[in-house]
Amino acid sequence: MELVNRDRRPDDQLPRWSPNRLRHTAATEIRQRFGLEAAQVTLGHSQADVTQIYAEKDLTLAAEVARKIG
């Protein structure tokens, strides 16, 4: 993928984003650092299954738990 296209205006070269993308990114970081419940409370969800839509699972953490527990 070409990052710079000189035929386009500078603002066209920026990646597209939306408020939901920012919410998704923040939710994922909170979940990774503090857990699902912290992400749920921060996002204001009454049920954790809704939070899981926004906050991606941390597969690295799952691998670490598997190594430690066996």
Residue 10 in this model has a pLDDT that exceeds 70? no
Burial degree of 62 (CB within 10 A; 0-12, 13-18, 19+): exposed
Residues 23-53: tens digit of each pLDDT: 888 888 998 899 889 999 998 989 988 888 8
Query: How far apart (Å, rounded) are the C-alpha atoms in residues 26 and 3?
Result: 25
Residue 12 in this model has a pLDDT that exceeds 80? no
Instruction: Among 8-22, 28-42, 52-66, name the most confident range.
Output: 28-42
Cβ atoms < 10 Å from Cβ of 29: 13
55 neighbors 36 (Cβ within 8 angstroms): yes
Q: What is the pTM of this model?
A: 0.61
